[in-house]
Amino acid sequence: MNYIEILGLVAAALSTFSFVPQVIHTWKTKSAKDLSFAMFSIMFTATALWLIYGFLIAALPVIIANGLVLILLGIILYFKIAYK
């Protein structure tokens, strides 16, 4: 693995786990009014399409990363609806 591939993997890992602090933040504060429902629902749709794309091209890293992000975005959207 060369340094360009490592850079891509670090970027992918950071992109994937960046949603974790938002989940924790919203879970703790029970407040989600400043979150744009449109942003998170468009991103949820995009991630679902990336997941389907990953299955179609049989790319395991795409499937794993987008599967995890889809779960995290699902939790944030649930909070957005539940806490207003």
Minimum separation from the CB atom of position 33 to a copy of itself (A): 6
- Indicate the Cα dihedral angle 81, 50, 6, 16, nearest 10°: 10
Minimum separation from the CB atom of position 79 to a copy of itself (A): 10
Residues within the interface to a copy of itself (CB under 8 A): 4, 7-8, 10-12, 14-15, 17-22, 24-26, 29, 31-36, 38-40, 42-43, 45-47, 49-50, 52-53, 56-57
Structural element, H or E, at residue 73: helix 60-83
Minimum separation from the CB atom of position 57 to a copy of itself (A): 6
Which of the 8 DSSP states describes residue 58?
T
